[in-house]
Structure 1
Amino acid sequence: MSYPGYPPTGYPPFPGYPPAGQESSFPPSGQYPYPSGFPPMGGGAYPQVPSSGYPGAGGYPVPGGYPAPGGYPGAPQPGGAPSYPGGQGFGVPPGGAGFSGYPQPPSQSYGGGPAQVPLPGGFPGGQMPSQYPGGQPTYPSQPATVTQGTHGTIRPAANFDAMRDAEILRKAMKGFGTDEQAIVDVVANRSNDQRQKIKAAFKTSYGKDLIKDLKSELSGNMEELILALFMPPTYYDAWSLRKAMQGAGTQERVLIEILCTRTNQEIREIVRCYQSEFGRDLEKDIRSDTSGHFERLLVSMCQGNRDENQSINHQMAQEDAQRLYQAGEGRLGTDESCFNMILATRSFPQLRATMEAYSRMANRDLLSSVSREFSGYVESGLKTILQCALNRPAFFAERLYCAMKGAGTDDSTLVRIVVTRSEIDLVQIKQMFAQMYQKTLGTMIAGDTSGDYRRLLLAIVGQ
């Protein structure tokens, strides 16, 4: 698809995410049985991630908004001059206009045949930034490409034998000590569907529950990572949501990360799993743990009713942009319900067109307006939706960076994102991470973790 009027004022073509016609196929419905034998819910909550804007301080773009105040790269400014993140750092594209600064994901999000995927270092239009925003090092000077048929780092193993893998895991845990390397070699190189088959084969062969055996042999972050890998994706999301709301306090950023980024099909399956596995209604739990406009946004997300039509109605985009302006910047106070309705119901391609129309009309990007009109977790939720509409892999790259930057590591967020995206778009996330922070995801993981936990994480991300 392409946007009329580009160049100079439109966005470049942006691929469907997921591709048109495949919106309901990831993960396949009903493929995984919900497991028994996982540890009962309880214990620690997810650590908070610093709320310093998108991405975190020191990242890309500069703290305080995403993109930096001043608009998207190429967004019309008073006097017609394009704005760039941080007010510096990107060469002006040919002709002096156009949307060229925001890192764009590869041309396809899921499988469906080989695609030429740009690696970090390429820059749209052949224009290289003279300096990385915020004074960071420059991009690599030479673009490169690699052929990928999928955007997950983990793919189903060829010549898979569930009984053989079950035997390997049994030997690794039998007797004195544990052979963690053997466990890493198996679980990091099998798809989630294959891990479910290994779990069933283990019980068939030995009459024992693999999860309980693993829990007895492992501890700490390594245990959390292994258990996450053996949970079916839908169950893991439901489990994470339950954990985020259990006990004193609520981990709001976990609720935002899951409910504002999943597809309709994924959300509906999460709601069903939450009810069947924990005997609880997800919407009721959200209502009891949150309040105000943040509660309403999450309840809207729980319905799984976002329009997933990949076509764009430009007239609607113009009208929505006008409505959002009049609900925020164009009035005293904010009509929060208008923002909720549009951001919760429109498809991501439609939201991208609305953001473009808003920038033309208001001389300010919509993300900046949301930052000015909202605060707290409802601001984070609305911005997450817009960030995913622009570039979902970049959103997850920022979350990973925030989980590891500074003192300490938010291991639960690190584990959750690496595991849940490992078969979907972790290849793209790695590319965006390197482009945004001038270091590889593997390098940062290696510096923030240790031991078998580090070895398994690096195996999953493909280092």
Structure 2
Amino acid sequence: MASLTVPPVPTWPRQDAIDLHKAFRGFGCDSTTVISILAHRDAAQRAAIQQEYRAVFNQDLARRIASELSGNHKRAMLLWVLDPATRDATILKQALTGDVTNLRAATEVVCSRTPSQLRVVRQAYRARAGERRLGTDERAFIRVFSERSWAHMAAVARAYHHMYDRSLEQAVKSETSGNFGFGLLTVLRSADSPARYFARVLHKAMKGLGTSDSALIRVVVTRAEIDMQYIKAEYHRMYKRSLADAIHAETSGNYRTFLLSLVGRDRTY
């Protein structure tokens, strides 16, 4: 169940585009207006707004956002305005080809998506990177687990536990390590309970000194339109604290406002 809230009456994409353009004009950016619009539009509405923005102002909305916003707020917003498949492809490309390879972020995307989702992501990745620019390792990485069924994996895990009186997760932990082991655990945990898996990722991102903003942004932005309400419930059950409270404590400014707009506030601050 998604946490994203949209206006009860459908909005006019052209008016949204005009209002966004006004928010960008002049000295500084009216981030409140930008958030109030984009954080409350679904993927189809955001795509329509981008089309209207280009048609009316002959500009790319994402590029305008990149020039007007900054820091983690910009990073989160730029991911949010992408369609889901292109967003996952972007996360993969950044994780696999950046200055610092983030195999765990790439593993999370590949191993927590369904086979049908991964097929679309693979097409989007090739469109952005170009097949000739993909190395052998990248192609293999994107294909890995792409034919796995969550229902099948969950059934295997249950059968394994019944036969050996030991969970398959325990076996994976003891017999594997590194990114391969992390990938297998991600598949198993996502198949068992996606909400619990992502609640753990969010908790780890905000645990201790400092915050892993890349993980926080990645999960909030990619799950807000899918199952964030379930993730919030699991987070509260596991850690006795609302996810909104945790995000509020670990972030600030427009970045905080944007994330909380996607997650949904559980109380009035």
Query: TM above 0.5, one fold?
Result: yes
Q: Give per-residue Cα distances to partners, 1:256-289, cap 9 Å, x unaligned.
A: 111111112211111111111221369x536169
Q: Compared with structure 1, are the counterparts of its residues 350 and 268 closer, same or farther at alpha carbon in structure 2 (3 Å cutoff)?
A: closer
| Partner Cα separation in structure 1 for residue 250 and residue 228 of structure 2 | 19
Gaps of 5+ in 2: none
- Which residue, 181, 184, 189 being the options, matches 1:387? 189
- Tell me the SS of whatever aligns to 1:152: coil
Please say if 1:438 is aligned against 2:204.
no
Other-structure match for 1:354: 156
- Which residue, 173, 182, 190 being the options, matches 2:24? 173
- Tell me the SS of whatever aligns to 2:144: helix
TM-score, with structure 2 as normaliser: 0.92
Other-structure match for 1:182: 33
Q: Compared with structure 1, are the counterparts of its residues 436 and 211 closer, same or farther at alpha carbon in structure 2 (3 Å cutoff)?
A: same
| Partner Cα separation in structure 1 for residue 30 and residue 210 of structure 2 | 28
Please say if 1:300 is aligned against 2:144.
yes
- Which residue, 205, 217, 222 being the options, matches 1:415? 217
Paired letter, 2:77: I
Q: Compared with structure 1, are the counterparts of its residues 367 and 197 closer, same or farther at alpha carbon in structure 2 (3 Å cutoff)?
A: same
TM-score, with structure 1 as normaliser: 0.54
Q: How many residues align?
A: 264
Shift of the alpha carbon at 1:388?
1.2
Q: Compared with structure 1, are the counterparts of its residues 203 and 248 closer, same or farther at alpha carbon in structure 2 (3 Å cutoff)?
A: closer
Other-structure match for 1:164: 15
Contact kept, 8 Å, 1:286 with 1:298, in 2: the verdict is no
Other-structure match for 2:54: 203
Paired letter, 1:152: A
- Which residue, 244, 253, 267 being the options, matches 2:118? 267
Paired letter, 2:165: N
- Tell me the SS of whatever aligns to 2:112: coil
Q: How does 1:400-411 map to 2 (within 5 A)?
A: 400-411=202-213
Please say if 1:154 is aligned against 2:4.
yes
Contact kept, 8 Å, 1:156 with 1:194, in 2: the verdict is no
Other-structure match for 2:70: 219
| Partner Cα separation in structure 2 for residue 249 and residue 177 of structure 1 | 32
Q: Compared with structure 1, are the counterparts of its residues 373 and 422 closer, same or farther at alpha carbon in structure 2 (3 Å cutoff)?
A: same
Shift of the alpha carbon at 1:431?
0.6
Identical aligned residues as a percent? 34
Other-structure match for 2:198: 396
| Partner Cα separation in structure 1 for residue 73 and residue 138 of structure 2 | 32
Q: Give per-residue Cα distances to partners, 1:279-337, cap 9 Å, x unaligned.
A: 1369x536169xxxxx6x76432xx323xxxxxxxxxxxxxxxxxxxxxxxxxxxxxxx
Shift of the alpha carbon at 1:186?
0.4
My pick for the range that moved more, 270-279 or 348-357, is: 348-357
| Partner Cα separation in structure 2 for residue 228 and residue 431 of structure 1 | 24
Shift of the alpha carbon at 1:351?
2.8
Other-structure match for 1:373: 175
| Partner Cα separation in structure 2 for residue 209 and residue 446 of structure 1 | 31
Larger C-alpha radius of gyration, 1 or 2? 1
Contact kept, 8 Å, 2:96 with 2:138, in 1: the verdict is no
Structure 1 segments of 4+ aligned residues over 6 angstroms from their partners: none
Paired letter, 2:245: T
Other-structure match for 1:328: none
Q: Give per-residue Cα distances to partners, 1:146-195, cap 9 Å, x unaligned.
A: xxxxx111155432101111111111111122111111100111001111
Contact kept, 8 Å, 1:155 with 1:189, in 2: the verdict is yes
Other-structure match for 1:285: 135
Paired letter, 2:187: I
Other-structure match for 1:454: 256
Other-structure match for 1:232: 83
- Tell me the SS of whatever aligns to 1:189: coil
